[in-house]
Amino acid sequence: MDDLHARLRAGLPAEALQTDPDVMASYAHDMASFCPAGTPAALVFPRTVEQVQHVMRVATELRVPVVPQGARTGLSGGANATDGCIVLSLVKMDRILEIDPVDRIAVVEPGVVNAVLSRAVDELGLYYPPDPSSWETCTIGGNIGTASGGLCCVKYGVTAEYVLGLDVVLADGRLLSTGRRTAKGVAGYDLTRLFVGSEGSLGIVVKAVLALRPRPPRQLVLAAEFGSAAAACAAVCSIMEAGHTPSLLELMDRTTIRAVNKLANMGLPDTTEALLLCAFDTPDPAADLAAVGELCTAAGAAQVVPAEDAAESELLLKARRLSLTALETVKPATMIDDVCVPRTRLAAMLDGTAAIAEKYGLTIGVCAHAGDGNTHPVVCFDHTDADEARRARESFDAIMALGLELGGTITGEHGVGTLKKEWLARELGPVGVEMQRGIKRTFDPLGILNPGKVF
Amino acid sequence: MDDLHARLRAGLPAEALQTDPDVMASYAHDMASFCPAGTPAALVFPRTVEQVQHVMRVATELRVPVVPQGARTGLSGGANATDGCIVLSLVKMDRILEIDPVDRIAVVEPGVVNAVLSRAVDELGLYYPPDPSSWETCTIGGNIGTASGGLCCVKYGVTAEYVLGLDVVLADGRLLSTGRRTAKGVAGYDLTRLFVGSEGSLGIVVKAVLALRPRPPRQLVLAAEFGSAAAACAAVCSIMEAGHTPSLLELMDRTTIRAVNKLANMGLPDTTEALLLCAFDTPDPAADLAAVGELCTAAGAAQVVPAEDAAESELLLKARRLSLTALETVKPATMIDDVCVPRTRLAAMLDGTAAIAEKYGLTIGVCAHAGDGNTHPVVCFDHTDADEARRARESFDAIMALGLELGGTITGEHGVGTLKKEWLARELGPVGVEMQRGIKRTFDPLGILNPGKVF
User: Where residue A116 sits, what CATH number does that domain have?
Assistant: 3.30.465.10
Alpha helices in B10-148 (DSSP H): 21-26, 49-62, 114-122, 140-146
CA-CA distances (angstroms) from residue B344 to A100, A104, A116, B23? 9, 10, 25, 47
Q: Does A431 touch chain B (CB under 8 A)?
A: yes
Residues of B in contact with A184 (CB under 8 A): 149, 153, 158, 340, 369, 372-374, 409, 412-413
Is B215 within 8 Å of chain A by CB? yes
Distance CA A386, CA A395 (A): 14
Question: Quick one: which of B182, B287, B255 has its CA closest to A413?
Answer: B182
pLDDT of amino acid B284: 94
* Whether residue A240 sits in one domain with residue A200: no
Give the model's confidence band at A333: pLDDT under 50 very low, under 70 low, under 90 confident, else very high. Answer: very high
The reply to whether A106 and A206 lie within a common domain is yes
Q: Is residue A392 situated within a structural domain?
A: no
Instruction: Say if residue A85 is in the same domain as residue A100.
Output: no
What's the CATH number where B291 sits?
A: 3.30.70.2190
pLDDT of A1 above 80? no
Residues of A in contact with B158 (CB under 8 A): 184, 186
pLDDT, average across residues A317-331: 92
| Residue A366 within a domain | no
The answer to the question of residue B16 being in a domain is: yes
**Of the partner residues B103, B188, B340, the one whose CB lies closest to the CB of residue A183:** B340
SS3 for B214?
Answer: strand
Nearest to B424 among A187, A213, A373 (CB): A187
Q: Please classify residue A227 by burial: count the beta carbons closer than 10 Å to its beta carbon, then call 0-12 exposed, 13-18 middle and 19+ buried.
A: middle
- Model confidence band, residue A235 (pLDDT cutoffs 50, 70, 90): very high
How far CA B388 is from CA of A119, B355, B384, B404, in Å, comes to 54, 17, 8, 24
* All residues at 6 or more sequence positions from A419 whose CB lies less than 8 Å from its CB, including other chains: A32, A34, A35, A75, A76, A77
Instruction: State the nearest Cα–Cα gap between B23 and chain A, in angstroms.
Output: 31
b (16+ CB within 10 A) / e for A295-333: bbeebebeebbbbeeeeebeebbebbbbbbebbbebbeb
Q: Does B435 touch chain A (CB under 8 A)?
A: yes
Q: Show residues of chain A in contact with B343, CB under 8 Å.
A: 102-103, 183
CA distances from B59 to A322, B9, B79, B86, B178 (A): 57, 13, 17, 8, 23
pLDDT bracket for residue B267 (50, 70, 90): confident
pLDDT (0 to 100) of residue B146: 95
The closest alpha carbon to A132, from A74, A91, A80, belongs to A74
pLDDT bucket at B2, cuts 50 / 70 / 90:
confident
Give a yes or no: residue B287 inside a domain. Answer: yes
Three-state DSSP class for residue B408: coil
Same-domain check for residues A317 and A292: yes
Is B431 in contact with A174 (Cβ distance < 8 A)?
Answer: yes
State which of B277, B302, B321 marks the end of a domain. Answer: B321
Residue B108 sits in the same domain as residue B208: yes
Window 276-315 of B: residues touching A by CB (8 A cutoff) are 282-284
Q: Are A181 and B342 in contact (CB under 8 A)?
A: yes
State how far residue A137 is from chain B, nearest Cα, in angstroms.
Answer: 21
Distance CA A253, CA B452 (A): 56
A162 to chain B, closest Cα gap in Å: 11
Residue B63 at interface with chain A, using a CB cutoff of 8 Å: no
Asked whether residue A24 is domain-assigned, the answer is: yes
- Residues B316-337: what's their mean pLDDT? 93
> CB distance from B35 to chain A under 8 Å?
no
How far apart, in whole angstroms, are the C-alpha atoms of residue A116 and residue B393? 48
Q: Cβ-count burial of B63 within 10 angstroms (0-12 exposed, 13-18 middle, 19+ buried)?
A: exposed
Q: B182–A409: do the CB atoms touch at under 8 Å?
A: yes
In this complex, do B187 and A416 lie within 8 Å of one another by their Cβ atoms?
yes
| A33 has pLDDT over 90 | no
**CA B401, B407, B408, B410 torsion: positive or negative?**
positive
User: Same domain for B142 and B158?
Assistant: yes
Task: Kindly report the nearest CA distance between residue B224 and chain A, in angstroms.
Answer: 20
Q: Give residue A308's pLDDT band: very low, low, confident or very high (50, 70, 90).
A: confident
Residue A58 pLDDT > 90 = yes
- B113: DSSP letter: B
The mean pLDDT of B22-28, rounded to a whole number, is 97
End residue of a domain, out of B321, B351, B366: B321
Q: Are residues B193 and B120 in the same domain?
A: yes
Please tell me whether residues B210 and B100 are part of one structural domain.
Answer: yes
Whole-angstrom Cα distance, residue B100 to residue B190? 23
Provide the domain count of chain A: 3
Whether the predicted pLDDT of A34 surpasses 90? no
ipTM of predicted assembly, 2 dp: 0.96
Identify each DSSP E strand in B246-285 by its residue range.
248-253, 274-280
Share of chain A above pLDDT 90, in %: 94
Read off the pLDDT band of B211 (50, 70, 90).
Answer: very high
> Which chain A residue's Cα is nearest to B410?
A187
pLDDT in tens, B401-444: 999 999 999 999 999 999 999 999 999 999 999 999 999 999 99
Contact flag B410-A187 (C-beta cutoff 8 Å): yes
Query: Residue B308 pLDDT > 90, yes or no?
Result: no
Amino acid at A90: L
d(CA B124, CA B131): 18
Do A102 and A115 reside in the same domain of the chain? yes
> A100 with A210, same domain?
yes
Question: Is the model's pLDDT at B143 over the cut of 90?
Answer: yes
Residue B2 CA to its chain's centroid (Å)? 36
Strand B42-44 to B86-89 pairing: parallel
Whether B427 maps to a domain, the answer reads no
Distance between A406 CA and the closest CA of chain B, angstroms: 10
Do the bridges between strand B363-369 and strand A96-100 make them parallel or antiparallel, or are there none, so unpaired? unpaired
Say whether both B187 and B258 belong to one domain.
no
Edge-first strand listing for the sheet containing B248-253: B303-306, B220-226, B274-280, B248-253, B363-369, B374-381, B333-336
Domain stops at, among B304, B321, B338:
B321
Mean pLDDT of all residues in A300-329:
91
Give B-chain residues touching A190 at CB under 8 angstroms: 147, 160, 193-194, 196-197
Per-residue pLDDT at A269 exceeds 90: no
CATH code assigned at B32:
3.30.43.10
Selection from B393, B398, B353, B394 nearest residue B373 by Cα? B353
The predicted pLDDT at position A280 comes to 97
Residues B310 and B229 reside in one and the same domain: yes
Among B410, B262, B393, CA closest to B327? B262
Q: What is the pLDDT of residue A27?
A: 97
A181 SS3 class: coil
Q: What is the DSSP letter of B454?
A: -
Checking if the pLDDT of A49 tops 90, the result is yes
B246 touching A (Cβ < 8 Å) = no
Summarised one tens digit per residue, pLDDT across range A98-129 is 999 999 999 999 999 999 999 999 999 999 99
- Give domain status of residue A362, yes or no: no
Task: For chain B, positions 76-105, list CB contacts with chain A under 8 A.
Answer: 100-105
Which residues does chain B have within 8 Å of residue A170's beta carbon, measured at their own beta carbons?
431, 435
For an interface test with B, give the residue of A186, A346, A419, A441 to mutate (most B CBs within 10 A). Answer: A186
Structural domain includes residue B123: yes
Q: Which domain holds residue A28?
A: 2-89
Identify which of B176, B372, B429 has the shortest CB distance to residue A183: B372
